[in-house]
Chain A
């Protein structure tokens, strides 16, 4: 009678197996269902037959043992199942991925804290648990659920998307959609950066307006090439900024809604009227981010920035320990790892969160425009870095003399200035307005090529947030993991394949034959 349960189990096995083999074609087929049903019947019949032939436990002692064993089994099952159910509520995890992909960044945690105190409808993440990438994203969504109590996570099926998200559900790759009331924001590839970006956009009470000065050879915002700033423009929009262009010569004035003006390394002089406009804007409490570059001789650096306390000599910083991170290692590539620890622009950066700058210009400090102004150098090249004024020779990659006097210091590559102006309002302690300026001696560190390198984007975002008086949101942003995408060539793959699929199994089989032969002998 042992045949019945064995046959039943085989039928159950075939039923489940055929389901898995054909589930992409249809659901549970008649063949699978019949096998499963018959299998269960046979197992039940076999079990019943076995019970009839059960010898039982003769004698009181053996019955005691049997009862004790059964009690042990029941208690053990209860204990194990209880532990498993309790453990489902524990969220303790060990994230061993490179860059801790499933551990939320400082920025996301900060944002989660903000959401709790926000009025209005709650923000929700609609997670399609049967989407193509659902398995990969589940861990990330769980991390959001743990860290953001104010964020509602709703599991949904792609067959029945929720009303608000229905129009945005376009492909099977759609995995997460962020919604607030009737407004939904589709999330492309569901990485932490994109999910957090969508939350920022939906949660933002205001969108600070950032103007990029153009018309003097500045870096092009629309340029998608390696040297362009299209990535930076996208990043700022993702972070809740409204990015606009400010055409220098045509602008009769700087708009009142300009919270930050960015001058991305103008190559030519600004008109005197434009300089006066910028000067007046700063005097009214404006905010300016100026990116410089060695070899450029715009009057923005020599006139305007000098007036506001910055000294940008026509020089270039050289570090013989060249960064090996770039394809073209050169002593002009700098790994910036020394930062002012208490300045809001650099307080999140340290030796472990470096910035990569190819060819940077030293940014020193000149005379303060007013005694109450605060000027500070905030980022520095390494102790071994030197400064040379032979800029053209250095940029051309030719031999050049080093400035021995500058060799003794860590050359600064970024500086900030804050300028309180105007009498305080009646009853207030703070001045009416405070102009702010950040100067960084390199423009390429946030080009499309290097925006994602190390913590380049964080330095720039910190600067823009500080200028926009959004210090509370200064935090390290989620990192984009950039693995080596070509780990093995096809030839290497084949070589390993020969070893693993043939040589290793062959060796194991030979060992097996030897063991068998010894046993026979």
Chain B
């Protein structure tokens, strides 16, 4: 059973890295996060320069000192990491769109089932490979934050918290994309769905002003971003991990049901 899942996962992995899309997506993500981190660091350097300049002497700061809350954690790390999630949302549907839809369009999904694989094994292997890709994507983009962490004395545990959060968040978005891909034979439709659903779920701020406070509170509980905030600040909260794991599970379950329904029809 595990052997079949692993064999399919290996095949999926080969297929993923044989196509240029994985590299294009990786390039886009690494470049986006690198540029964004750079911009924050430059702004921070300028802020330090302003604080340390003589112009502020006598306005509450001793010359040459900077308030301790102006630091690399608050000014660079947290704001940049808060937005890294958005970049995952930009690139991941490009990878997930083809995973099931391509098989369905080519009719190769029938082949998978006739080879003795069960739908849950197919869904598990495809989800696992995509999560692995998310992990690789995050690892490639970790260099900049790691350097800053090492130089600022934030501690590498902090980086672990951030990347656990990013991995949870990325897997949740990938799961939604995979579920969308499993329900259609069109990669375009899968991509549009894979962008739309997480984007709408991202943050219900656009809706909360028009509904009652009670409904708004419930919507905030559902929003993806409201569950991500603790990780960049170095805290892993069990409830947030359960939330993202729950979404990933629902994505996998939806893919499984889609495969079952397709087979039944």
A396 at the interface (CB under 8 A from B): no
One digit per residue, 1 when the CB lies within 8 angstroms of any chain B CB and 0 when it does not, for chain A 483-504 equals 1111111100100110111001
Interface residue stretch chosen among B31-39, B94-102, B104-112:
B31-39
B260–A88 CB distance below 8 A:
no
Given A139-B235, A487-B152, 16 more A-B residue pairs with CB atoms under 8 Å apart are A2-B189, A6-B189, A12-B196, A62-B265, A69-B257, A80-B250, A84-B242, A87-B242, A93-B236, A96-B155, A135-B78, A189-B67, A497-B35, A499-B143, A515-B20, A519-B19
Residue of A73, A481, A501, A513 near B38 (CB, 8 A) is A501
The 6 closest A-B pairs by CB, nearest first: A512-B23, A500-B34, A487-B151, A97-B234, A96-B157, A87-B242
Cβ distance A41 to chain B, nearest Cβ, rounded Å:
15
- Give 17 CB contacts A-B under 8 Å: A6-B188, A9-B196, A13-B192, A17-B199, A28-B206, A57-B264, A69-B260, A72-B257, A136-B233, A483-B152, A484-B153, A487-B72, A490-B42, A496-B143, A500-B143, A501-B34, A512-B26
| CB-CB under 8 A for A80 and B234, given A32-B206, A483-B71 | no
Contact of A23 with B38 at beta-carbon distance under 8 Å, contacts A95-B234, A98-B153, A135-B229 already known: no
Output the least CB separation between A420 and chain B (Å): 44
| Majority DSSP secondary structure for residues of A touching B | helix
Given contacts A12-B200, A95-B235, A485-B48, contact A65 B264 (CB under 8 A): yes
Q: Which residues of B are at the interface with A, using a C-beta cutoff of 8 A? A: 17-24, 26-28, 30-31, 33-35, 37-38, 41-42, 45, 48, 62, 66-74, 78, 82, 140, 143-144, 147-148, 151-155, 157-158, 160-161, 186, 188-189, 192-193, 195-196, 199-200, 202-203, 205-206, 209-210, 221, 229-230, 233-239, 242-243, 246-247, 249-250, 253-254, 256-257, 260-261, 263-265
CB nearest neighbor in A for B33:
A500
Q: Do A497 and B68 form a contact, CB below 8 Å, given A65-B263, A509-B23? A: no
Q: Which residues of A contact B158 (CB under 8 A)?
A: 96-98
Contact call A23/B205, Cβ cutoff below 8 A: yes
Is A30 on the interface with B (CB-CB < 8 A)? no
The minimal Cβ–Cβ distance linking B2 to chain A, given in whole angstroms, is: 22
**Chain B, Cβ-Cβ closest to A225:** B62
Tell me what chain B mostly uses at the interface: helix, strand, loop, or mixed. Answer: helix
**B21, B78, B264: residue with the most chain A Cβ atoms closer than 10 Å:** B264
Chain B CB within 8 A of A445 CB: no
Separation of A92 and B18 alpha carbons in the complex (Å): 42
Complex Cα spacing A5 to B160, Å: 40
Chain A stretch 58-94: residues in CB contact (< 8 A) with chain B: 58, 61-63, 65-66, 68-70, 72-73, 76-77, 80-81, 83-84, 87-94
A98-B155 CB under 8 A given contacts A16-B199, A497-B34: yes
Whole-angstrom CA separation of A81 from B249 in the bound complex: 10
Task: Provide the residues of chain B in CB contact with A515, threshold 8 Å.
Answer: 17-20, 22-23
For B202, the chain A residues whose CB sits under 8 A away are 16
Most B-side CB within 10 Å, residue of A87, A90, A480, A513? A87
Given A88-B239, A92-B238, do A23 and B143 touch, yes or no (CB 8 Å)?
A: no
Chain B residue contacts of A224, Cβ below 8 A? 62
Q: Are A65 and B196 in contact (CB under 8 A)?
A: no
Contacts of B153 in A (CB 8 A): 98, 483-484
